[in-house]
Amino acid sequence: MGYLILYYLLYITWSLFILRTYQLQSSQTQVLLQLRKHLEYPKQLDIWTDHGTDFCNESSPTQVNITCQDNFISELKLLGDKSAKVSDFDGFAIANQTLSENFSMDSFFVTLARLTSLRVLNLVSLGIWGALPDKIHRLSSLEYLDLSSNFLFGSVPPKISTMVKLQTIKLDDNFFNETLPDQFDSLSNLIFLSFRNNKLKGPFPSSIRRISTLSNLILSKNEISGRLPDLSSLSSLNVLDLSGNKLDSDLPSLPRGLAMVFLSKNSFSSEIPMHYSRLDLLQHLDLSFNSLTGIPPAALFSLPNISYLNFASNTLSGSLPTHLQCGAKLSFVDISNNRLMGALPSCLSNESDKRVVKFDGNCLSTGPHGQHAESYCLEAVHMKRKEYGGKNAGILVGLIVGMLVIMVLLVVGFLTLCRRYCPRGITEQHLLHKAVQDHSARGFSSDILTNARYISEAVKLGSQNPPVCRSFTFEELKEVTNNFDNSSFMGEGSYGKLYKGKLENGTQVAVRCLPSSKKYTNRNLKLRLDLLAKLRHPHLVCLLGHCIDCGGLDNYSVNKVFLIYEYVSNGNFHTHLSENTPGKSLNWSERLAVLIGVAKAVQFLHTGVIPGFFNNRLKMNNILLDEHRIAKLGDYGLSIISEEISNNGRKQEDNKSWQMTILEDDVFSFGFMLIEAIVGPSVSARKGAFLRDELATLNSQDGRRKMVDPVVLATSSQESLSIVISISNKCLCTESWSRPSLEDVLWNLQYAAQVQATADNEQRIGNVTL
């Protein structure tokens, strides 16, 4: 009997060994080797050596993933390092960015089509260029197609509509520049359709309305124009993103199940439909930068799940209802730059808890700051009515354009005369001559520093009626901080000592004492501080004032510089990740909310001012949380004040630290903060060693169980966590040019938050059902 048991054990062991080490069919192996040749032998495919390679079980880098089933390849995922870095593409090879002129798209897809069992194809950032051929339909078993971040050009092949098993199509960040085919309704299993950031034009494909399974439709940043049809038949649609196109119809009807709607930066011109206020699952609605009229439906503000409403930069007019009710989850409202009049409803006042409200650029009776006179809105509404009526439209447009041209010419002439003959202007340019060449303030010319006109409109959109930044005397600061007593001392870093204080009106502040600098004169430094003071955003710690102490000496030497910030009471992000007390540690959704806030702030620093503020030395300790756990970024933009401050900070870092090599890249720093939010500060403290040796383990389930913070594991969905891990990997790429923009990072974080919210809702519904 014992021999029989031993025999069975040996048989089972041998069988498992044979199953574990099976080889692909030789034809499949040949295809992989040919694909490697087509892709011009990228370094990540160096492991594909010859026919003897066990492709199914070979330990591969994170950029390569192959799944096999029954001796055939079922999944092929390749991630390259040739993401599109050009704004325009004419369909031909580009040296060092695309594959060479010898690459043939037809031959490549003929080879791919021999993988007859392929269900998942993911070929991202490989430099593939040219027109996508009709031969793609030969991959008839394909369920998932992702060819993002390549150089695909021309039209989307109509035969893609014959690939009826497709569930996901992602062709983002390419250069398709023709109209979309109108046969998508044959894809009866399609769930996810995305052509974000291409150059597609022509009308919206009406066939999309007949895909009942579609949950995500993303066609943003294209040139799609004309009328947007009724979309209410898309009963499964959860995310709709058509922002940044040229659609000019009335707003369409939308399906009841939508959670995220992005229709900004088009030319929609109707009133906001009343039925939008019956979209009970709606969380995020962005209709900004259109030509919408009327008053937003009051019920929109009180939807049970609504958290974000953006109606900025339209032509909304009239008065909001005084009895307007706001939903419990509503955390952001932007009605700025419209023609609204009357009083601001109490639930939209700045005193509302946990709610950011922007309302500048209207005619509201909230005081003069940020508001126009009522006559401005009445005149604008009257002009709009005349425009719609078609009376004297041509004359009106001609007069406006003519007046603007004359005003611009007058302003340019005036500034030219001032610069030529105004002694002060010449003096300031002379004072800043050296600063223009300064590395720490690269791009900040004397014109930028002395002329507020160079601050973009995004600054105005970011303001929330903040207190005006003013100058303090050194004596005032001594009183504020109790003569800089040790009891007021909060800490010290590379940007100097930090003290807590209280102004005469009771406002608590944080006073940063910067290291002394002999680099700038008093006036030169004042110009730089005034530019820094113009930065206003809901997720930036507000700069309330500054003090330049010359120590009683002349005007050309600076002894000390102090920055006075608002005091943010709830500690920094790092501390909240370290909390072990139940209920205090942030769960995954809360961490995402903090990261999204910081990403918005950094994106504003990069794009909201001209030129942008980079090299912001992002660290977890600089992310502060207020009493409502709203994130605010501190110590931003200080590189403009002193190159020496940055150098001092650099010298204090460990020579082996990640900051040493890529200190100036905010995207890299942000990627490291994402990892720290995932794994916790105890693991991320290893910094460079962690990045080199352990980051790859987050791509496997076992690795996540070992590395990820238990709080994150317990409160996150796998899909949401995977999205953030993926964008973190991209942020931490060795080559700076291959990293994503802050806009891409922000989009991925918002999408991960939406995925997590959906998973949380499904879990709650399941718990109620049980």
Q: Which residue has the higher pLDDT, 390 or 37?
A: 37
What pLDDT does 300 receive? 95
Mean pLDDT, the chain, integer: 79
Which among 585, 760, 565, 598 is positioned nearest to 669, based on CA atoms? 598
Of the listed ranges 40-49, 72-81, 229-238, 499-508, the one predicted with least confidence: 40-49
DSSP 561: E
* Residue 213 confidence class, pLDDT cut points 50, 70, 90: very high
Give the least confident one: 87-101, 112-126, 578-592: 578-592
3-state SS record for 531-542: HHHCCCCCCECC
**Cβ pair 359, 344 in contact under 8 A:** yes
Q: What angle do CA 272, 278, 279 make, to 5 degrees?
A: 90
Neighbour order of strands in the sheet with 201-202: 201-202, 223-226, 246-247
User: Is residue 349 a contact partner of residue 372, using CB atoms and an 8 Å limit?
Assistant: no
Say if strands 508-514 and 560-566 run parallel, antiparallel, or are unpaired: antiparallel
Per-residue HEC secondary structure of 567-608 comes to CCCCCEHHHHHHCCCCCCCCCHHHHHHHHHHHHHHHHHHHHC
Q: Which of 173-187, 345-359, 590-604, 650-664 has the lowest mean pLDDT?
A: 650-664
Question: Can you tell me the mean pLDDT for 493-513?
Answer: 85
Stretch 419-426: mean pLDDT: 44
The mean per-residue pLDDT over the stretch 735-764 comes to 82
- 373-415 pLDDT, tens digit per residue, is 888 888 765 655 555 444 445 556 666 777 777 777 777 766 6
Measure CA 338 to chain center.
25
pLDDT for residue 100 is more than 60? yes
Strand order of the β-sheet with 317-319 is 317-319, 339-342, 363-364
Q: What's the pLDDT at 416?
A: 63
The two tokens of residue 75 are 């999944």
Return d(Cα 306, Cα 282) in angstroms, integer.
6
| Strand-pair category, 72-79 with 129-131 | unpaired
Residue-level pLDDT at 146: 95
Provide the pLDDT for residue 687: 54
Mean pLDDT over 37-56 rounds to 78
Relative orientation angle of helices 742-769 and 718-731, to the nearest 10 degrees? 170
Residue 581 pLDDT more than 60?
no
Q: How far apart are CA 631 and CA 628, in angstroms?
A: 9
* 3-class DSSP state of 491: strand
Q: What pLDDT shows up at residue 684?
A: 55
Alpha carbon 268 to its chain centroid, in Å, reads: 24
Counting Cβ atoms within 10 Å, is residue 583 exposed (0-12), middle (13-18) or buried (19+)? Answer: exposed
Q: How far apart are the C-alpha atoms of 269 and 288, rounded to whole Å?
A: 12
When pLDDT is averaged across residues 498-525 and rounded to a whole number, the result is: 80
- Residue 487: the pLDDT is 84
pLDDT for 50: 64
- Residue 143 has a pLDDT of 94
Mean pLDDT, to the nearest integer, of 661-678? 77
pLDDT for the residue numbered 428: 37
pLDDT score of 658: 34
Confidence at 18, pLDDT banded by 50, 70, 90: very low
Residue 500 has pLDDT above 70, yes or no: yes
pLDDT at 305: 94
Please check the confidence at residue 106 and state whether its pLDDT lies above 50.
yes
Mean predicted confidence (pLDDT) in 99-107: 88
Q: Which two structure tokens, joined as six digits, stand for 589? A: 């959704």
- Amino acid 226: pLDDT: 93
User: Which of 691, 682, 760 shows the shortest CA–CA distance to 719?
Assistant: 760
H-helix or E-strand spanning residue 500: strand 496-502
How far apart (Å, rounded) are the C-alpha atoms in residues 515 and 498? 11
Percent of the chain with pLDDT over 90: 29
- C-alpha distances in angstroms, 690 versus 665, 679, 680? 19, 11, 12
Task: Report pLDDT for 199.
Answer: 93
pLDDT of residue 653: 38
How high is the pLDDT of residue 395?
A: 52
Asked if 594 and 726 touch (Cβ cutoff 8 Å), the reply is: no
Q: How many helices (H) and strands (E) does the chain have?
A: 22, 30
- Averaged pLDDT for residues 729-756: 82
Both tokens of 422, joined, read 């105004």
Between 205 and 640, whose confidence is greater?
Answer: 205
CB atoms inside a 10 Å sphere around CB 701 = 8
User: ∠ CA(561), CA(562), CA(563), 5° rounding?
Assistant: 130
Token pair in block for residue 10: 């040996």
Q: How confident is the model at residue 150 (pLDDT cuts 50, 70, 90)?
A: very high
Phi and psi, residue 400, nearest 5°: -65, -45
Report the alpha-carbon distance of residue 107 to residue 120 in Å, rounded: 20
Whether the per-residue pLDDT at 466 is higher than 60: the answer is no
**Selection from 621, 618, 628 nearest residue 572 by Cα:** 621
| DSSP-based three-state secondary structure for 411 | helix
Would you state the pLDDT for residue 222? 95
Question: Given this model, what pLDDT does residue 613 score?
Answer: 77
pLDDT of residue 505: 84
Q: What is the β-pairing status of strands 201-202 and 175-176? A: unpaired
Predicted confidence (pLDDT) at residue 557 exceeds the cutoff of 90: no
Q: What is the arithmetic mean of pLDDT over 545-558?
A: 66
